[in-house]
Every structure is written in C-alpha cells, then in structure tokens.
Structure 1
Amino acid sequence: MVHFLTDGQEAGVVMSNGKRWQNARRFLLRNLRDLGMGKTYLEESILEEARALVKDFSSYAGTPCHAPESLNVAVLNIIWQMVANKRYDLYDKEVLKPITILRSVDASSAALLIEFIPWIRKLLPEFMKEKLLTGIMRRVKDSIVTLLKDTIDSHRATLDPANPRDVIDEYLIAIDEKSEIAEYFSELDLMRIIFDLFSAGFDTTSNTLHWIILYMAKYPEVQRRVQQQIDEVVPRDTLPSYQHKSRLPLLEATVQEVLRVSSLIHNGVQRANETDIYLGGYLIPKGSWLFGCSGICHMDSRYWEEPQEFRPERFLDEEGKLKTPKEGFMPFGTGRRGCLGEGLSRMELYIFTAALLQNFTFSPPEGVEIDLEANPKQPASRMPKGQNIVISTRE
C-alpha cells in the first residue's frame, strides 16, 4: 500500500532504503537548504502567508466553526514554493483534493484491515476488493498523479539549467547531467519525492497548528499569557517575526509543549539496524524494523514531571528564558536521521502561531468542552478531531 503511487516500485525518500534513500535524502537536504529552509530569507514567504491567514480568519470571527481550511493551504504554500515554485490561492480547493481522498483511508476503512492481514484478499470476490481497496487506492493515485505529472511536465517544458527555480528543476538537471547522486533518479522517483514532501511537509505542520489552536482554546490562561508577551514585544500593526523570537520565550515554549503532548507522529518512521544490536539485554537482529516512539518518550515520567499536564513552563528556566529541551524530547526524530524538514516546520509553527495569537483569541463554543483526544479514525498518527471553536478578533 505504501508504494501504491509507483505501482509497487520502491521510490522517494520516506519509504525507500539503502543507497537510493541516501542519495534522495542528501539531494533534498542540500537543495532545500539552498532554497532557504531554516534561513531567515525564507521568512518573508511565511509572513506573506501569515498575513493572508489573519485576513481570512477575520471573516470567521464570532461564529463557531472548524479551523478554516486556509490554514492547510497556507502551510502547503510554503513547501510548495520551494518544491515547485508555485503558490495557491487560500481558497483553492483543487490542491487539497488528493489529501482529502488520502485521509478517507482511515481506521474505519477495510483497506487498512486488508493491508495488515493480506491473506484476506484471497477470500474476497473481485467486486469487494474493488469497493474496499482497489477502487479507493486508484482514486487516490489518479488524483495525485494528475497533479504531480502536470507539475513535472510544465517544469520540463520551461527548464533553464542555468537558472533552476526549485527542487523539481534541480532534480531534472541532475537527471540530464547524469550526476553521481542521480544514480537512482527518474521521473517516477521524482513524482514520489514530491508526494513525500507534499504530504510530510504539509500534513504534519498543519495538524500541529490545529493542535495549537485547540490547546489555546482549552487553556485560556496560557493563551492570555502568550498574548500578553506578544503585546509587550511586538507593535500591534506589525506581525511577529524572527527578530522577536528571542524575546518571546513563552510562545516558543508553548509550541514545544504542544509538540510534546500531541506527539503527532507518535510511532515515528520505520528504520532498520545495519548490524545485530543488544539493547537492554535483548538481541535486535540485523534488519529488524525499528521505531523511535516519541509518544512514549514524551509521556515518560523519567523525563517529565507530571507528563499528562499541559505546562509550557517546563521548557523555561527560572528566569523565564527558553532552555534546551530534555533528552526525551524528539518530535522530529533524533540524531543524524531526524526529519530533514525540521528547520522549516519550526519556523512555520513559530510565525503562524504568533500571527494568529496576536490577532485572535480561540475559545470553545458556549457549553462545549474542547476534546483533546486524538482522532481514532487515523491511527497511524495523532490527528486532532474536527470540532468547532470560536475565533474572536482581539482589539
């Protein structure tokens, strides 16, 4: 199922292995950094989306609603500009169709059951396979492939090797020049890489922002103190930027605490050990599938005092300054194989959260409790449940 986009062929960076994975990761890390990932000159692009978000959120003020869809498009636009040199209008529903279809393959769908117990396929007649698995995956694939193939074709038609615009251009140039790193490169592999960046760079950050909004609505006193610190540092007619970050430690601590308690990708991404390893007296044979379970580490009382409590202050020292997170904090993985988009995601989370809390207060509808339990229909990650909030414009 994880290779449905490439008809079973290993490709991309998330679900590949060995030399293919090393080349893809090395290529992406270099080019994303060259395009501004983690650097301050990418900040203006994020601020542009933040301004558009503030304007859009204003139109929902006072009426209970789910978090506006514009939040998803704004996050997508950042990674999409780096990958494909394109920005979508916040109201463009077309680009969200593949993600909407992908999310429909949830725990209530027989598709996951068939994936985990594959011998069931042999017992099902063809029309049931079509309804429960094949048809679902074909719709997902067709919608995504159409978007990605059109994007690659338009880049190929306008490619100028002397002036690469984005990751896709750099990849096509590497193929044409037969560079050493392009040993496993192909347009099929490029399609999967774009999808990996598209889903990982968009889905995790946008859902973390949804969690932040829900936690602010659930804990109004934390929200009030963060807003007070923003007001003391940033003029109301200016959006918070990276130059203010060192003076907004409570904001950053709040983002980190949401990353800890939400543990969005709580089981991490699968790895494999290259040699036999003894850990805690147990043998882990070479080639085993291993998962760094951040969801367990983030709730471990050996690392965190009262881990079930939502307390951003745990990331601040006695003077109220941000301190280095504890060893058990790993929302983006850990070590040399941590998430390659961590720098970009952290910048987005900081700027978007600051802009929204500077301009709005989030609260539950009257008589309603915010539900912080994860959506059980998406067991692979801790996605927030869709629920109404009230967006109030701050004076």
Structure 2
Amino acid sequence: MFLLDYFELTNPLISIITGLSFFVIFNYLVSQVNRLVRLPNGPWGYPIVGYLPFIKDDIYLVFDRLAKKYGPVFSLKLGKHDTVVICDWEHLKVAFADEALLARPHENFYAGLIDESSFIEMSGDPWREHRRLSIQILRDVGFGKSTMETLITREIDQFLPTIEGEKIDFTKKITPSVSNIISCFLFGQNFEYSDPYKIELDEQMEKLGQVFEFTGIQAFLPWLTRILSYFKVANLEQIKRAINDSDNLVQEKIDERMKSYSPSTEIVDYIDGYLQEKEKRKAKGDHIFNFKILKRNVTEFFGAGSETVATTLSWTMNYLVHFPEYQEKIRSEISEIIGYDRKPNYTDRNQMPFTMAFLYETQRIGSVIASNLLRRASRDTKIGQYTIPKDTLVIFNLWSIHREEKLWPDPERFDPNRFLTDNGTKAFKPPYLVPFSSGKRNCLGEGLANVELFLYIVSILQRYRIKSEKIDHNLCSQSVLGVARRPKYLPKLTFKRLQH
C-alpha cells in the first residue's frame, strides 16, 4: 500500500500540486537558461542544491578539474548561489584590482551557525572603516615595526628548547608558539605554554581549523545548515561548539579589560584600541563599532594569525626532511651570513636567496589557502570577456594559479631554484605567487607572517639538524583540508643539536 493511499486527493488539490511542481521546474529552467546566457560556461546541477552533490573531493581540486574542461573562468550553481570560479593568472590579476569584487556574501562565513559578523566578513563602508581602524591599532601596538621582530625573536627563544629531542610532534609544538605572537597584539600578553586559558583557546581553534571549510555547506545552503545543526547532523554541531567556545574565551579577555579600562588608558593591544574608538564613536551617536564585532574580530584575528603560519611551517618541515640537501643549503647561508653566535634578523633575508626561494616554493606548492575567501560582485562587472552579474559569488582558486604550467614548469615538483635569478644570487618573488591573496582584500597579517616564517626556519636550522625515521616520498604532498590545507602525514621529527 502506498503512502498516498491514506490521503484523499481531490481534483483541485491535484491541480494545485501539479501547478506548483510545474512552476518550480519552469522557474528552475528559466534561471538555468538565464545563467547560461549571462554567466561563463560551466556544468549544470540539480534544483536547489546545484552542483554541490557532485563535489566528492576537496573543492579546490574539483575547481581545478572543471577549469580544464570548461576553461579558466567558469560558472556553476552552488546551492542558491550563482558562482564564478577564476583559475588562471591572466584573469585573476584583473579580478584582484576590480573594485566590484571587494564585497563578501550577504551571509557571514558561519551562516546558519552564528549571526555575528567580523569585519573580515563585511562589505562596503563598514568593512573599510573596520579595516582602517584595525590597521591603525595594530601599527600603534608595534605591527610592522622593529618591536614586532623583537617580540617574534623572544617567542622563538622560548620555543626552540621545546622541540629538541626525538619523535617530536612539530605541529603540536609550533601552534601555541605562533599563536603567542598574535596574542601579544590582541591581548597584550605572552602566555606560558602551560597556561590553562591559552591551552583551551588553542585547542578550540585547532578543532575549528580541522572541521571548518570556508566553502562548506554553510556558505551555500545556510537554511539547510540550520536544520542539520539543530538535529546535530554531520560536523556542524562540532563547528558551532568550537566557534562558541572560542568566542566565549575571547569574551573573557574583553570582560577582564573592561574592569580596568578608561578612555585615558594607554593602548597596548587591539582590544584597548577598539574600545577607545568605540567610545569616541558612541559619543557622536555612531554605533558601527560594538562589543559583538570586537569579539568576532579578535577571534578571527587569533585564528588567522595562528593557522596559516603554523600550517606553512609544518609544510616547511615536511619538505626539509624529505629533501635534507636543502637543509644544508640553507645552513650554508646561515653560516656565511649570520654565523652561529648571533640571532637572525629579518634583514638577513636580503643576503640569503636560497632560504627565501625555499620559503617561496613551500608557499607555492603548499597553497595553504587553496581557494580565496568568498567574494561577491557588488555590481555587474566583466573580467576579460566574461560577464559577472551583480550578487554572483566569485572564488579565486589559488591552487590552480600556483600550478599553472605556463607559469610554473613541472608544477608538481618541489624546486626552490625556480625562484632564483642571476646565477642563484637573488631570490625573485613573482606577482603570481599569491599565498596571502592580493589587492585591497589581501591578508592583513602578510607582513607579520613573512617575518615569522623566515625567523622560525632560520632559527631552527641554525640550532638543529632535522631528521625522521619514517620518510615516504609518496605521502609528502598529501593533504587534508579544513580552514587551511595541511600536511596529511607529517612524521614525528628528531631535532638534533648542532655541534660547532
């Protein structure tokens, strides 16, 4: 017996159901035809969910394969969103400079899970004002100044003894160290590795980094996200819990600061600067800056300032143990330029071309941020011959750019020499190496990250020789995708102290 046998369907009801079904199908077909007319060529999908059911692999790999079939700029339906994906440098460099592509989606990154947005998720004037303020505050507390390098060096001194020995889980060791640096700018505080608060904050960020993707279901089907989260389906409840727990920990620091804050307080960190600007604006009747945004900004800054650098350093370790000859090349530059008695400084990079070339190649082949954070067209625009209608989502597939064969011959081969010029005496960073994105929405922390990467690697190799008992070259490039693209198999490492 069929389920419909329990219901008495009258002719008018059948007509209504048939009419509604026809309307849904007709509307879908019209929207698909309209998409084909206005948007770049691309694959079809199903009603409501679009192409999402066909994504069986990491999304940046799917985009790369589709680009080979439909061209470097293609479109597809992802949930309710028309989406354009850009997979080559010729069009990406134009897109980076296009003011119409600076907006974010109307929903935040955690649509269906939380409602508050950080300035990273904002568009238009609110984004510009928050970005301007964030840059100003961070500079006031030492970002981009000599004090920043001193802070990093001090943290590295604390970190190095923790990795000496055998069977070291490098990722577990490096994460609390790197996050300590961004903590100084956000909280005005450097934590002991045993601090319970810091351990909990790092753990929650680690959980979020493992399970959350910026191009996950919440980005394209927020209504379904709410339903699945309510019924605790998939990993959405884990994501929501990690976000809330991280936010609550950040709120503790904001609450602590509020107890002693006054407008005349000297600005020592991001929280101080934001509170001061909030009070100034409030006196003028401007409420664009508020506590909810402050909490989300600090959480996002902490995560971004920890995840990308720690992950890039993990990739660096991966390639150093797989190619020990590169350790020796970097160490020869250390011996010649720095020696073993003084600590490295960032200006040393100008005389260490191979070291810089190694870091550039790690950023290229690692592609820690494989796809750019989602953009939205704020108005109709064109990229080359391709039309991008207003409110279309736009994704820059940085993975494809970093493996574009006409830019990078033999792109799957790890080869730092591709960045060397003048017979290996200079390192050249081409404009199409874009690990931090580019343009007006590039990563605010790019300068900090570059200093960290150089000083950590040089400081480690100045003191230790790195080895691993288990090296499988077939596993070297394999990855897992969360917030960032991480090494899937980073073996336990031995850091043996050098004798001089």
Q: TM-score, normalization: structure 2?
A: 0.71
1:54 aligns with: 160
Structure 1 residue 147 and structure 2 residue 253: aligned? Answer: no
1:77 aligns with: 180
Change (3 A) 1:393 1:86: same
Change (3 A) 1:287 1:365: same
Q: CA deviation at 1:201?
A: 0.9
Structure 1 residue 357 and structure 2 residue 456: aligned? Answer: no
CA distance in structure 1 between the partners assigned to 2:112 and 2:203 by the alignment: 19
Q: Pick the aligned partner of 1:184 from 275, 281, 288.
A: 288
1:136 aligns with: 238
Q: Pick the aligned partner of 1:215 from 306, 309, 319.
A: 319
Change (3 A) 1:155 1:115: same
Q: Pick the aligned partner of 1:242 from 336, 346, 350.
A: 346
2:367 aligns with: 263
Amino acid at match of 2:192: D
Is residue 363–residue 390 contact of structure 1 (8 Å, CA) maintained in 2?
yes
SS in 2 for 1:256: helix
Pairwise mapping of residues 292-311 of structure 1 onto structure 2 (< 5 A)?
A: 292-311=396-415
Is residue 101–residue 139 contact of structure 1 (8 Å, CA) maintained in 2?
no
Structure 1 residue 21 and structure 2 residue 127: aligned? Answer: yes
Q: Pick the aligned partner of 1:283 from 383, 387, 406.
A: 387
SS in 1 for 2:170: coil
Q: Pick the aligned partner of 2:206 from 100, 103, 113.
A: 100
Change (3 A) 1:168 1:106: closer
2:29 aligns with: none
1:41 aligns with: 147
Q: Pick the aligned partner of 2:270 from 159, 164, 167.
A: 167
1:194 aligns with: 298
Amino acid at match of 1:361: R
Instruction: Tell me the C-alpha RMSD between the 2 structures.
Output: 2.8
Count of residue pairs brought into register by the alignment: 386
Q: Which deviates the most, 1-10 or 204-213?
A: 1-10
CA distance in structure 1 between the partners assigned to 2:471 and 2:369 by the alignment: 31
Amino acid at match of 1:31: I
SS in 2 for 1:9: coil
Structure 1 residue 12 and structure 2 residue 118: aligned? Answer: yes
CA distance in structure 1 between the partners assigned to 2:327 and 2:369 by the alignment: 25
Structure 1 residue 32 and structure 2 residue 138: aligned? Answer: yes
SS in 2 for 1:362: strand
SS in 2 for 1:130: coil
CA distance in structure 2 between the partners assigned to 1:122 and 1:16 by the alignment: 21
Q: CA deviation at 1:313?
A: 1.9
Q: CA deviation at 1:2?
A: 5.1
Q: CA deviation at 1:249?
A: 1.8
Q: CA deviation at 1:172?
A: 0.5
CA distance in structure 2 between the partners assigned to 1:181 and 1:30 by the alignment: 22
Q: CA deviation at 1:204?
A: 0.5
Map Cα deviations across residues 184-235 of structure 1 (whole Å, 9 max, x no partner).
2110100000011011111001110111111111111111101111112223
Q: CA deviation at 1:347?
A: 0.6
Q: Pick the aligned partner of 2:328 from 210, 213, 224.
A: 224
Q: CA deviation at 1:318?
A: 1.7
SS in 2 for 1:64: strand
Amino acid at match of 1:196: E
Q: Which deviates the most, 89-98 or 48-57?
A: 89-98
CA distance in structure 2 between the partners assigned to 1:41 and 1:121 by the alignment: 44
SS in 2 for 1:391: strand
Is residue 478–residue 488 contact of structure 2 (8 Å, CA) maintained in 1?
yes
Q: CA deviation at 1:28?
A: 0.9
Unaligned runs of 5+ in 1: none
CA distance in structure 2 between the partners assigned to 1:270 and 1:302 by the alignment: 26
Map Cα deviations across residues 323-370 of structure 1 (whole Å, 9 max, x no partner).
442232111111232111111110111111110111122223156447
Is residue 70–residue 91 contact of structure 1 (8 Å, CA) maintained in 2?
no
Q: Which deviates the most, 113-122 or 283-292?
A: 113-122
Q: TM-score, normalization: structure 1?
A: 0.88
Amino acid at match of 1:252: M
Change (3 A) 1:7 1:366: closer
CA distance in structure 2 between the partners assigned to 1:158 and 1:193 by the alignment: 21
CA distance in structure 1 between the partners assigned to 2:118 and 2:191 by the alignment: 24
Change (3 A) 1:183 1:280: same
Map Cα deviations across residues 228-278 of structure 1 (whole Å, 9 max, x no partner).
111122231322112422222211111111011111101111122333222
Pairwise mapping of residues 324-339 of structure 1 onto structure 2 (< 5 A)?
A: 324-339=428-443
Pairwise mapping of residues 84-123 of structure 1 onto structure 2 (< 5 A)?
A: 84-92=187-195, 93-105=199-211
CA distance in structure 1 between the partners assigned to 2:416 and 2:386 by the alignment: 36
Unaligned runs of 5+ in 2: 1-106
2:48 aligns with: none
Change (3 A) 1:6 1:308: closer
Change (3 A) 1:182 1:71: farther
Structure showing greater Rg: 2
SS in 1 for 2:340: coil
Amino acid at match of 1:70: K
Is residue 184–residue 269 contact of structure 2 (8 Å, CA) maintained in 1?
yes
Is residue 274–residue 286 contact of structure 1 (8 Å, CA) maintained in 2?
yes
The share of aligned pairs that are identical, in percent, is 24
CA distance in structure 1 between the partners assigned to 2:475 and 2:452 by the alignment: 25
Q: CA deviation at 1:133?
A: 5.2
Is residue 354–residue 427 contact of structure 2 (8 Å, CA) maintained in 1?
no
Map Cα deviations across residues 158-187 of structure 1 (whole Å, 9 max, x no partner).
224331111100100111111789642110
Is residue 464–residue 495 contact of structure 2 (8 Å, CA) maintained in 1?
yes
